[in-house]
Amino acid sequence: MNHPLVPPAIELRGVHKRFGASHVVKGIDLALEPRAFLVLLGPSGCGKSTLLRMLSGLEAPSEGSLHILGREVANGARGIVVPPGERGLGLVFQSYALWPHMTVRANVEWPLKVARQGAAQRTRRVDEVLALLGIGALGERYPSEISGGQQQRVAIARMLSPAPGLLLFDEPLSNLDAQLRLEMRSELLRVHREAGATSVYVTHDQVEAMTMATHVAVMNEGVVEQFGTPRDLLDDPASAFVATFVGTPAANVLPVRAEGGRYAIGGHVLCDASGGSDSARLLYRATDLSFAAPEATPGDGPRAPATLIEVAPMAGAFVCALMLAGTRIAVVTAVPPDAAPGDTVMVRFPAAPRARFDARGRRIAGGAA
What was the pLDDT predicted at 4?
Answer: 54
Helix spans in the chain (H): 48-56, 104-114, 119-132, 148-160, 178-195, 206-212, 230-235, 240-245
What was the pLDDT predicted at 3?
Answer: 52
Question: 195, 232, 203, 163: which is closest to 36 by C-alpha?
Answer: 195
CATH 3.30.300.210 fits 10-240, yes or no: no
What was the pLDDT predicted at 178?
Answer: 80
Q: Tell me the backbone φ, ψ of residue 300, rounded to 5 degrees.
A: -70, -25
Q: E strand or H helix at 252, and its extent? A: strand 252-259
Dist CA 12 CA 35 (whole Å)? 17
What was the pLDDT predicted at 148?
Answer: 85
What was the pLDDT predicted at 368?
Answer: 45
Q: E strand or H helix at 166, and its extent? A: strand 166-170
Q: Tell me the backbone φ, ψ of residue 268, rounded to 5 degrees.
A: -105, 120
Question: 208, 213, 237: which is closest to 225 by C-alpha?
Answer: 237
Distance of CA 180 to the CA centre of its chain: 19
Give the other-Cβ count within 10 Å of 121's Cβ: 11
CATH 1.20.120.10 fits 241-365, yes or no: no
The three-state secondary structure class of 269 is: strand
Straight-line distance from the first to the last Cα atom of the chain, in angstroms, rounded to the nearest whole number = 24
What was the pLDDT predicted at 2?
Answer: 52
What was the pLDDT predicted at 296?
Answer: 76
Helix spans in 196-351 (H): 206-212, 230-235, 240-245
pLDDT mean values, one per 10 residues, the chain (369 residues): 72 97 96 96 94 95 95 94 91 84 95 91 93 91 91 90 91 82 86 90 91 96 96 93 92 94 93 87 95 82 95 93 96 94 96 92 68
User: Can you give the residue ranges of every domain in the chain?
Assistant: 10-240, 241-365
Letter string b/e over residues 57-96, b meaning 16 or more CB atoms within 10 A of that residue's CB: bebebbbbbbbbbeeebbbbeeeebbebeebbbbbbbeeb
Dist CA 350 CA 330 (whole Å)? 15
